[in-house]
Structure 1
Amino acid sequence: MTTATPLALYGPDFAADPAAHYERLRAHGPLAPVELAPGVEALLVIDYQAALDLMRDTHTFSKDPRAWQATVPQDSPILPMLGYRPTALFSDGETHARYRAAITDSLGLIEPHVLQRQVAHAAQRLIREFAATGTADLVTQYARQLPLHVFNSWFGVPEEDSERLVNGIAGMVNSAGNAAAAYADLVAVVTRLVADRRARPRRDLVSWFIAHPAGLENDEVIRQITLTMSAGHEPSTNLIGNALLHMLTDPRYAGSLYGGAMTAHEAINEVLWQDPPMANFSAHYPRYDTDFHGRRLRAGQLLLVSYAAANLQSRPEVGHDLPRSGENAHLAWAAGPHGCPARQPALLIAITAIERLTSHLTDLELTCPPADLIWRPGPFHRALTALPVRFTPLTGL
């Protein structure tokens, strides 16, 4: 196979129509050459079966990026997302199990009915702020704010740090020039939070991480909490926004805003297949030189899974009902031992957020053609910059 020019995943052209780019990449086979940032190349796994094989094969592939990282400029904007830290995301074996247990056990202490009540309360508060105006940007005024309210409750984040938290996460995921500063700001917020809970424990996730039987060191606590926040807020925001766009533009959902048969759950499930909020991630590195789905791989070479491209290859036809037995076969939650540990809370947040919004504002419609909407550039996420809508003004909420 001749050497191909890697496709840049970080520009506005890719963000505007990633599906078309994924289809062109299929000419390279299951693994395609891409560029994640200037000078930082990877192989993108775009085949469904190859993606599953990669994420499940812990013998051949590692999650530890340090060998690869040594080959990347240390000021690369990609490192805040892919550079090594002592977390469940970048570890294997017993170390991974220890970190993951702290995350899953702590999240498991959140009662679903309590979470649903928190989401409903936050939704009501946010809707009340713009309901009387008849217009809103559902990304900046709702989808981005609602998970933040929930996370503030989970972690006890002070109100004055909320905006720094959101900006830090978004800047890191964008993987642009300010990514390192954004990540440092996010870690600073979490570091102060952990120090406060060590002095004054509460019934919140930070105190639960500190007290977990895994006995995490202080930096390990900070890093797991930073991971949990960033892996929860950005995808939740994008899932809510992408699902709302889907409901506003797909004729099959027109009746849903007026009490129709198609539900928020179905819209979210279709988005997880067609437009997952994290489109490309799950970095893996061969432990040794090996052959994989027709490619010779070098030890330490970066492979990234395209959940979006793999899903597009195997999803049901658009407009066809998805059998319940297959609705979770998409890769939006990843797979294998590093599959998302918070999928149930994430679904509950997104479903409740959309149900509350559409139950109050039943005649939502876009204020611009869908083609005019702008998607945030970046190699990892699928995220709208704004979702402008109008509706009949509502008072008395």
Structure 2
Amino acid sequence: MYGPEAEGPPNELYEKLRRQHGQVAPVLLPGDVQVWLVLGHRENLDVMRQSSLFSCDSRNWNVQLPADSPLLPITAWQPLVAFADGAEHARLRSAITESLGNFNRHGVRRHVVRYTNQLIDNFAATGHADLVADFAEKLPILVLARQFGIAEQYALPLGQAVRDMVKGTPTALQSNQFVVDTMSGLVKGKKDKPGEDFASWLIGHESDLTDDEVMEHLRHAIVAAHENTTNLIANTLRMVLTDRRFRGSLSGGQMTLPDALEQVMWDAPPLAVVPTRWATGDTILGGQQIRAGDMVMLGLAAGNTDPEIRPDLTAPVHGNRSHLAFSGGPHECPGMDIGRAIADTGIDTLLARIPDVQLAVLEGELHVTSSLISQRLDNLPVLFKRTAVGGAADADSALTAAGAQPLPAAQLPSPSPAPSGGVGARETWWQNLRRLLRRKR
């Protein structure tokens, strides 16, 4: 099951699993850990909505992972809303949702336009750019940092650390510590001098979160929001530049950018898998016998392509928001409208500034990295007519214009690429799935 098939799109693997196992399939994760992957749209919703039967508390897992398991960072229990159920979940989620509710949505869009223009100014005069590295990976963290109450000079280094951590590079632990230190410093600073920002609202919320709880939720929120919004922007730009339906419709005025974003939510959701559900008792799901303590992974991307609800994947889904991109049930993403606003406004501003933008390479030359939870577009090189700088000539200098100094370089690890090839702890989860299928033959 290696060779060309191993490099094929995930949908091919989902369909193979469906043919062999139905809407819920046994799969292998690193270390030969067997779990369940939910492929069906209805079955995913069943798991999302039944929190008493499918808990987010990983202490229910019947597997003891070794200390060096690459699964630990995403499954080890933490005092976070993402790992809580019942009354504790309600307490923590109320602090998150009510604090997010204080965001000025119009203000967020103004900041998106400002930072988008600053980023474009960095490459407008060159006539070329990589819209992943130069735009998608930078815009979300610039906007989010401001909303979180983080000083602007820390935004880009923080975003670099988050992406390095999520990619699982050899410097991921150092990058995680950088994020923790930044958030710890933010909590301390906002306790002494609160402001109109997410950190201050969490600290002052009536749920009475501890300093550690505030820090951990800030860390969790910045990682999730930055990663998902970056992927959403990159995937939408790729579709706009490569899919004739969208390229033609956008230029002809027959489709809005929100329609394109909705299509991406279905076809390439920013988060493909949520690996944080554990059965609290024996049950039947999708015809499979699930035992108490089994890990059940939500297959968001797989559920979105379920032939029971989308028999024709080429048909447009404009106006249909029943996709699973933001999960559902009690743990539905609380900040989904903010991520959409950043992506929508940022891409709209980009296309207005450089309307002739086009892909600089063949689509087949774009590189996608697969991880347990997402499909990450790594590059999107484009060409366009050179244009004059429209504002700040340099985004980095604009961020320090008020006299703030960037963090010393020694505090931020230099990301290095993860080893390629090999099996075991470093192999991709797609390789594990295909290895399991080979064994079933």
In 2: Cα distance, 1:61 partner to 1:237 partner: 29
Q: Which has the higher contact order (CA 8 A, sep 6+)?
A: 2
Superposition deviation, residue 74 in structure 1:
2.4
Q: Deviations over 1:251-306 (max 9, x none)?
A: 12224564632221111100100010101115210112222222222222111111
Offset, 1:369: 1.1
Q: Does 1:219 align with 2:212?
A: yes
Which residue of the partner structure matches residue 48 of structure 1? Answer: 41
Greater CA radius of gyration, 1 or 2?
2
Measure how far apart 1:317 and its partner are: 3.2
Residue pair 1:239, 1:277 contacting (<8 A) in 2 also: yes
Q: Quick check: 159-168 or 57-66, which moved more?
A: 159-168
8 Å CA contact 1:102–1:214 kept in 2: the answer is yes
**Contact 1:137 / 1:387 at 8 angstroms: preserved in 2?**
yes
- 1:20 aligned partner, one-letter code: E
- CA shift in 2, pair 1:288/1:375, >3 Å: same
Aligned pair 1:354/2:377, yes or no? Answer: no
Q: 1:265 aligns with which of 239, 258, 267?
A: 258
TM-score with structure 2 length normalisation?
0.82
Aligned partners of 2:300, 2:205: CA distance in 1, in Å? Answer: 32
Q: Secondary structure at the match of 2:276?
A: strand
Task: Tell me what 1:329 maps to.
Answer: 322
Report SS of the residue matched to 1:133.
coil
The match for 1:18 is: 10
Mapped pair 1:317 → 2:290: no
1:161 corresponding residue in structure 2: 154
Alignment of 1:187-336 (within 5 A): 187-255=180-248, 258=251, 260-281=253-274, 283-313=276-306, 314-315=309-310, 317-322=312-317, 324=319, 327-336=320-329
| Segment drifting more, 123-132 vs 69-78 | 69-78
- Deviations 1:29-85 (Å, cap 9, x if unpaired)? 111222333433321101111111111112211110023286111222222222211
Moved more, 63-72 or 230-239: 63-72
Contact 1:363 1:392 in 2 (8 A): yes
Looking at structure 1, the residues matched to 257 and 216 of structure 2 have their Cα atoms a distance apart, in angstroms, of: 33
Moved more, 197-206 or 382-391: 197-206
Unaligned runs of 5+ in 1: 1-6
* 1:160 shift after superposition: 4.7
Partner residue in 2 for 1:3: none
Q: CA deviation at 1:345?
A: 1.1
Q: 2:363 aligns with which of 364, 367, 370?
A: 370
Name the residue aligned to 2:423: none
Distance of 1:176 and 1:50 partners within structure 2: 34
CA contact (8 A) 1:257 1:364 kept: no
Structure 1 contact 258–362 (Cα < 8 Å) conserved:
no
Distance 1:162 1:115 in 2: 16
**Inter-partner Cα distance in structure 2 for 1:174 and 1:273:** 23
In the alignment, what sits opposite 2:436? none
- The answer to whether the 8 A contact 1:191-1:222 is kept is yes
Contact 1:257–1:358 at 8 Å: present in 2 too? no
In the comparison of the two structures, how many residue pairs are matched? 387
Q: CA 1:14/1:384 → structure 2, altered by over 3 Å: closer, same or farther?
A: farther
Deviation of the 1:379 alpha carbon: 1.0
CA–CA distance in structure 2, aligned partners of residues 316 and 353 of structure 1: 32
Q: 2:337 maps to which residue?
A: 344
Letter paired with 2:116: A
Aligned equivalent of 2:90, options 97, 104, 113: 97
- Deviation digits for residues 306-340 of structure 1 (CA, Å, limit 9, x no counterpart): 1111101133734534353xx11000010110011
Quickly say closer, same or farther: Cα 1:41–1:288, change in 2 above 3 A.
same
- Offset from partner CA, 1:189-220 (integer Å, 9 cap, x none): 21111112112222211111100110001111
Give per-residue Cα distances to partners, 1:16-39, cap 9 Å, x unaligned. 621211111112111122233343
Cα contact 2:262–2:318 (8 A) shared by 1: no
| RMSD, aligned α-carbons | 2.3
Identity %: 36
Q: Does 1:384 align with 2:377?
A: yes
Change over 3 Å in CA distance of 1:181–1:38 after alignment to 2: farther
